[in-house]
Amino acid sequence: MTAQPPRRRTGPALRILLAGLWLLLLVPALLLAAAPVAPAAQGLFALLAVALVAALLPVADRTGPRLLLLATAGAVTLRYWFWRLFETLPAVAPDAGFVVALVLFLAETCAIGLLFLEACLLVGPLRRPEAPPVKPETLPGVDILVTSSDEPADMLAITLAAAKNMVYPARLRTVVLYDEGGTDARCASADAGSAAAARARRAGLQQMCHDLGVVYATRPGNAGGRGGALNAALACVSRDLVLVLEGCHVPSRDFLARTVGHFAADPRLALVQTPHFFINPDPVQRNLGLGPGWPAASERLFGAILPGLDRWGGAVFCGSAGVLRRRALDEIGGFAEKPGAEDLQTSLALHVRGWRSLYHDRVMIAGVQPETFAGQIAARGRRIAGLLRLLAAGHPLRHRGLCLSQRLGYLVRLGEGLRPLLLLVFLLAPLAHLLAGVRFLSAGFEDLLAHGSGYLAVGLMLRRALFDRHAPPLASLVQEAAQAPSVVLAALFGDRLAGARASVPLWAVTGLCLAGVLAGIAQLRAAPAEAAAVPLAMTLWAGFNLVVLAAGMRAGLDKCQRRTMPRVQMQVSAEVHCPAEDVRPMNATVLDASTRGVRLLLPLPPGAPAIGLGTGVRFRPKFPDAPQLERMVSGHVRAAVRMGGMVTLGVALDPGQPSAVRETVACLIFGDSAAWLRRRQATQRTKGLLREGLLILWLAVGALPVVLLRATGRCGRSHPSDRPAHPLAFGAAPCPDPAPVPDKPKLRKAS
């Protein structure tokens, strides 16, 4: 396979001609959309449009039907927007009604513009072929930079072991751990406890890096955040390519083999970004009880948006799991150092200089998400604060060197990050009318029904056509609404929403919506029939918001995870050694594994002694493509289920094993990217609006008793001391795993 050639840019004359043709087509369309019609005619038009869009949904994955769906939804949305502009806004006046109306209208305009920008850019997502092969003598050198701030040593050991053993010539790669938690400034902190902890961390990581055979580096201070750390790390290395990884992002063995070839095919290629995949559910998804069949929140970006942007040359750096060309980084002065959006700023600088980027849509890293709701809120709050600073600086519209599609792509990325701000406006807007008596909408019942219902219906179906496999619209709305109040406050006020306080804004807005619905019911009972249109609309709006927020209330109550590291299913051959002298080494199959334990299936001949609980065992997994990583791993039996001539053992790994054993376990769990590919594909299935609607109603109805029980301590809540610090701790888990489920003796061929 060969890489796709870069797109040729059209000349100025042709661009002017195309713009003129688009303008000629756009003007009559806008005039038709703005033309006033009777409510009955508008209602008929909306009904026919909704029916057409619904008929096109089953085939919306094809380009032709998707374009027709987009045009139909655009016509309905334009009519709604012009109706809002010309017929529903109050007169310009220095009062609260006009201010609220203006803020709401601008938020609606931004949301509509973002949706249709996404629809246009994502109409034909690019699915790239594999990178072309590279001759061994022309392979470039790669520096693998692993940055760490506060990740524990055993987590970093897994990441570094996996990075060290990627399929690539050892003489052409260097693994560097750049430690931000052990800088000179932190080691010399005025706080004696913090200084001692930093010095101990530095010494421990230095020893660990020595044992693993990788480079440890740090710097005097912590200026510039993560971008500053990466720039300091660049001063320590000098190879052609740079792979950037966070300390909790474990790469598969084929990462470099699948990405480096793109750079050989295009000398102006500066960036190859790959998707992020997480082995643990995010806290919102876990607390709401969404199972593994639902996609992670990050899939909206990595599964839908980035493949669409890639077609237009707009793939961006996402902070980790990206390979960059060193010469391009040197040309722009290294990584951007403004906190919060340094990855987006780095991409922007590369594109402005004419460098190209691409998105390789294959999961080849497994990362860890925040374990608590407060951690999730803090991370998203910092991200939004960085995007607001970037937007205030005029990026990306004021930069020359970007083509139109790239500018629109950056607007989409900025808009995606700022969606919680828009959502918070939509949550609070009806409360201004119901609770504060602010009148900001003037419309009759017929007009509201004819314009509003069609707009909401086609908008929902358009979102399903664009994101259903990656971000089901209703389920995503619940997750976003549960975080929006807290995320916006965290962006404005920093990390003050720590611990249990992180969920207080969610509960406060939910309470306000309940009060608004009750106030709206009282207003409807007192208002005459001819004046009930707007109060009815506001009450229904607040009622819908209440259902969504109620469904998301459990998001702020962190659940205990009995198994913090999910098991990875596999079929890997192994050799098992038991301590009994009369039992020879046996061939077995590793059925699943985590950094804390494995499940082994092995034959047990008749008359052989039973393997009791607590028995020490050792096993050696077999890697045909990496025999140098086949080492003995020790553990002890925690569960045993015998069925016929086979026995299934649940084995907990012994902590404190040598670094070489960690490399073996890292290869066993994280070495094969096909495992992450299967898990990711299992979530990319159409859910359906009916299933989502029933899920939301179920979550909303069951929210109150669960919240009351958890708040009073009557429902299982974990104590911090009962939980491990992270899902990649090596060795036995503090919470017991469930007993293994016996498998049928029939096995597939081991891989």
Q: What is the pLDDT of residues 438-481, one digit of tens each?
A: 999 988 888 999 999 999 999 999 999 889 889 999 999 999 99
Alpha-carbon distance of 260 to 240, in angstroms, equals 11
Cα end-to-end span (Å), the chain: 26
Alpha-carbon gap, residue 546 to 552, rounded angstroms:
10
User: Cβ atoms within 10 A of the Cβ of 408, count?
Assistant: 18
pLDDT for 396: 67
pLDDT tier, 743 (very low <50, low <70, confident <90, very high otherwise):
very low
Strand partners, 164: none
* % of residues, the chain, pLDDT over 70: 87
Q: Residue 367 is which amino acid? A: G
Which of residues 566 and 75 earns the better pLDDT score?
75
Is 572-751 in the same CATH topology as 136-289+298-370?
A: no
Per-domain residue ranges of the chain? 43-121+419-556, 136-289+298-370, 572-751
Residue with structure tokens 């902190």?
189
Q: How far apart are CA 655 and CA 575, in angstroms?
A: 20
The pLDDT value recorded for residue 12 is: 64
Least confident of 301-310, 502-511, 579-588, 685-694: 579-588
Nearest-angstrom CA–CA distance, 196 and 206: 15
The pLDDT score that the predictor gives to residue 719 is: 46
Reduce the secondary structure of 596-649 to three states and give it as a string.
Answer: CEEEEEEECCCCCCCCCCCCEEEEEECCCCCHHHCCCEEEEEEEEEEECCEEEE
Q: Is the pLDDT of residue 261 over 50?
A: yes
Amino acid identity for residue 643 in this structure: M
**Is 703:513 a contact under the CB 8 Å cutoff?**
no
Does 27 have pLDDT greater than 80? Answer: no
Structure tokens at 438: 């602010």
User: What average pLDDT does the chain have?
Assistant: 86
- Using DSSP's 3-state secondary structure scheme, residue 108 falls into helix
Statement: residue 217 has pLDDT above 70? yes
Predicted local confidence at residue 563, as pLDDT: 52
Q: How far is CA 504 from the centre of its chain?
A: 24
Q: What is the CATH number of domain 136-289+298-370?
A: 3.90.550.10
Environment class of 631 (CB within 10 Å of its CB; exposed 0-12, middle 13-18, buried 19+) = middle
Angle at 165 between CA 167 and CA 244, to 5 degrees: 85
Among 424-433, 551-560, 686-695, the least confident range: 551-560
Tokens of 227: 């971008």
Instruction: Give domain 572-751's CATH number out of 1.10.1060.10, 2.40.10.220, 2.40.30.60, 1.10.1040.10.
Output: 2.40.10.220
The candidate with the shortest Cα–Cα distance to 209, out of 243, 182, 241, is: 182
State the alpha helices, DSSP H only, in 122-191. Answer: 153-164, 184-187
pLDDT tens-digit map of 107-126: 999 999 999 888 888 877 77
User: Is the pLDDT score of 101 beyond 90?
Assistant: yes
Q: How far apart are CA 506 and CA 485, in angstroms?
A: 6
Query: How would residue 60 be classed by pLDDT, with cut points 50, 70 and 90?
Result: confident
- Name the percent of the chain lying above pLDDT 90: 50
Q: What is the pLDDT of residue 642?
A: 85
Average pLDDT over residues 142-151: 93
Can you tell me whether residue 417 is helix, strand or coil? helix
* pLDDT over 70 (residue 717): no
Q: Spell out the residues 6+ positions from residue 348 whose beta carbon is closer than 8 angstroms to its own.
A: 395, 396, 399, 402, 410
Contact 205, 155 (CB under 8 A): no
- 578-595 b/e with 16+ CB inside 10 Å = b? beeeeeeebebbbbbbbb
**Three-state secondary structure readout of 515-556:** HHHHHHHHHHHHCCHHHCHHHHHHHHHHHHHHHHHHHCHHHH
For residue 750, the model assigns a pLDDT of 37
Residue identified by tokens 């403004």 is 338
The confidence band for 93, taking pLDDT boundaries of 50, 70 and 90, is: confident
Q: What is the pTM of this model?
A: 0.87
DSSP lists the bridge partners of residue 18 as none
Average pLDDT on 242-257 reads 95
Q: How many helices (H) does the chain have, and how many strands (E)?
A: 25, 15
Q: What is the pLDDT of residue 623?
A: 93
How many angstroms separate the CA atoms of 149 and 115, rounded?
Answer: 36
Residue-level pLDDT at 736 = 41
* Mean pLDDT within 393-408: 79
Give yes or no for a contact between 351 and 280, defined as CB atoms under 8 angstroms apart: no
